[in-house]
Amino acid sequence: MKSDLPRVLLTGFDPFGGETVNPSWEAVRRLDAQIVRRHQVIALQLPTCFGQSLRALRAALTRHAPVLVISVGQAGGRSRVSLERVAINIDDARIADNAGREPVDRAVVRGAPAAYFSTLPIKAQLAALQKAGLPAEISQTAGTFVCNHVFYGLMHALRDTPRVRGGFVHIPFLPEQAVAHAGAPSLSLDVIVASLRVIVDTALATRRDARVAAGATH
């Protein structure tokens, strides 16, 4: 669907690690072409592959020129929607990606800063999610697999365009996945989609983030 409205880019991943579904893609594609605060949502599936994922993301940034970019990934074992605070410049894979790559202690971008912070209003998003009765948290780590790779690559790509905000959100397994993981925590797809819509809406509505405690002791 073509539109002259400003654009929001949402990305999810294809299944990896033996899964047959990835909730991040199932959720973001539900929001494709929707209008939120007079912005059109565009959903993009990224390959769960080091390198390839960033090439696809950079191409989408050029093609769509979004004003807001939120990448979403699966974090099996987590019980809440996790708003990621920081991306680090390291690839350190515990398992192989979908292309068989398993980098260890390799920079996402050579010579670039050690880390970037999300430019999303994560505290305001947390408050909005909690007000809506949706399970959410601030996370201090996006891991060192392809999710962090994309998060870091996104923030590096946006470093010189402060008008474009970006960040990363991790989501739990779907219930059908949890069955195969000894009853791991899960959320329904409807809850995940509702959470992402609140996250997008709050980002578009908020210029200055809330100042509330959401830190960690470990």
Task: Cite the active site residues.
Answer: 84, 147, 170
Q: By the 8 A CB rule, do 211 and 121 touch?
A: no
Q: Record the tokens describing residue 85, joined without a space.
A: 């605070």
Task: State the residue for tokens 């400003």.
Answer: 6
CA 210, chain centre distance (Å): 20
Quote the CA–CA distance of 207 and 13 in Å, as a whole number: 28
Quote the CA–CA distance of 25 and 167 in Å, as a whole number: 16
